Amino acid sequence: MDQNRVYFFDTTLRDGEQTPGVALRTPEKIEIAKGLVRLGIDVIEAGFPAASPGDFEAVQTIAREVKGTTICALARCNEKDVIKAIDALKDAERSRLHVFIAISEIHMQYKLKMTREQVLDKVKAILELAKGKVDEIEFSGEDASRADLDFACQVYGTAIAGGATIINVPDTVGYMMPQEFASKIRYIKEHTPGVEKVIISVHCHDDLGLANANSLAAIEAGARQVECTINGLGERAGNVGIEEVVMSLKTRHDYFHDLQVNIDTKQFTKLSKLVSRLTGVAVPPNKAIVGSNAFAHESGIHQHGMLSNPETYEIMTPESVGAEKTNIVLGKHSGRHAFEDHLKNLGFHQTFTEEKINDLFAKFKDLADKKKQVYDDDIIALVVEHMDHKKAFELVSQHYQLGEKGYAYADVRLNTPDGERADAAVGDGPVDASLKAVERVVGMPISLKDYQIRAITAGKDALGEATLKVEYNGRIFHGRGISTDIVKSSVNAYINAVNSIFLAMELEQQEEE
């Protein structure tokens, strides 16, 4: 045993599958198991063969087909379970039997209805049965974190004497505090006969959100195997996520005295997505390491720092866990530096002056107040909408309300060549009424020839793009408007068409002169 190395035991296919609502088929389990091999997992707990014929088949198939790691099967401390598990593992390249029995007073009294002496006798008998039939035996004292420590040491000592080479100390109900758990691990390490010959393992649940902290505290206290799952799947609040433990050890190698971890961390994101897809359990966006927001930054202060030096707000690189890149999310908290940098990424860096960027940023902030997230298409639309051109008319304000029988009332206020003007109209809906009101303010014989509206970005708060054609003096002019409000986008499209008419008239006048 290498005391400078932390071994990883993955139980996604056993404890992870006990997540309510999750049921994996054998081919899906094989796909995940092969992903775990690529990750570099030391031990894969493939299932609980005695639980069902399907579980037996899955463990047997994985043992036969998945190479490059130790395949483990779980068994209760009874003869039937152990024989089933050993049979399922017979074709494994390297096999491990994981046998367990509860050792806390509450479990022994109310679940097992056994005395301490009966538990010790059962452990001794089962280890005698299993010895020599698999490559390794791991023994777990279920609910060990709430067990009497001296009795726990007695049980573990019996298991070691019977041939167990790994003893697991599970915090079955996620009850421990980190310092408390570390103290228990030290006590077991100091008072268990034969413990120097075995690996101490821990299996932490996350009921109080402390599974990673407890696992790391146990490692500090001398544990050298961590039992975990991908994405933290498992009973109730789940198990510790392997991605969290591994990246804690690697990111803080200075603190953990350079403990060796033989895991290919670049596989984390890919495997996380695979497990999520096959189990149907979504990964929360703010999940550490593998969540979609783990390397996303929206705050303007954070974005400014990230653009200057990523280490200001990222303690690991997205590439180190197989994520594509840092994601600068543009939203209402974003700053001007992030917005300007994103304009350059979109190819607009030679288009705008500093003054124009400031103007666009102000309009972007207005849009971000209306939308939860601003997409690239939103920004492109915003930029195109506000590219420099002479505007004879600009919208100041608009209001509309629906009346009875489908009629609508609308009023608009515009900046015009003759100053600010307002008017109102009634139409067959808010768009019709609003365009008629604009037409009254403009006061020109303009005829609407075509009108279309479409969503150009994703989500319930998507931007609506209105495009239309108007005719003036026998010529067709186009207008385009963008807004989260389709009525406003329609009004802007109409005003832009009118501005095109005025620009054409001005150019014609210049040519005549």
pLDDT tens across 413-440, in order? 998 988 999 999 999 899 999 999 999 9
- Most confidently modeled of 120-129, 340-349, 395-404, 491-500? 120-129
pLDDT tens per residue across span 148-198:
999 999 999 999 999 999 999 999 999 999 999 999 999 999 999 999 999
Q: Which fold has domain 7-279?
A: TIM Barrel (3.20.20)
Q: According to the model, what pLDDT value does residue 349 have?
A: 45
pLDDT band, residue 338 (cuts 50/70/90): low
Q: How far apart are the first and last CA of the chain?
A: 93
User: Does the pLDDT of residue 376 top 70, yes or no?
Assistant: no
pLDDT band, residue 351 (cuts 50/70/90): low
Which overall architecture, per CATH, does domain 394-512 show? 2-Layer Sandwich (3.30)
Residues 445-456, mean pLDDT to the nearest whole number = 84
- Selection from 469, 41, 92 nearest residue 275 by Cα: 41
d(CA 132, CA 349): 70
Torsion-angle region of 121 (φ positive above 0: left; ψ -120 to 50: alpha; else: beta)? alpha
Domains of the chain by residue range:
7-279, 296-377, 394-512
d(CA 22, CA 106): 29
Distance of CA 465 to the CA centre of its chain: 31
User: Does the pLDDT of residue 266 top 60, yes or no?
Assistant: yes
Q: Which residues of 455-487 are buried (b: 16+ CB within 10 A; e: fewer)?
A: eebeeeebbbbbbbbbbbeeeebebbbbbbebb
Same fold, 7-279 and 394-512: no
pLDDT above 90: percentage of residues in the chain: 56
d(CA 327, CA 205): 31
Contacts of 70 (CB under 8 A, 6+ apart): 42, 43, 44, 92, 94, 95, 96, 135, 136
- Selection from 155, 33, 134, 28 nearest residue 91 by Cα: 134
pTM: 0.67
% helix, strand, coil for the chain, step of 5: 45, 20, 35
The answer to whether 239 touches 15, Cβ cutoff 8 Å, is yes
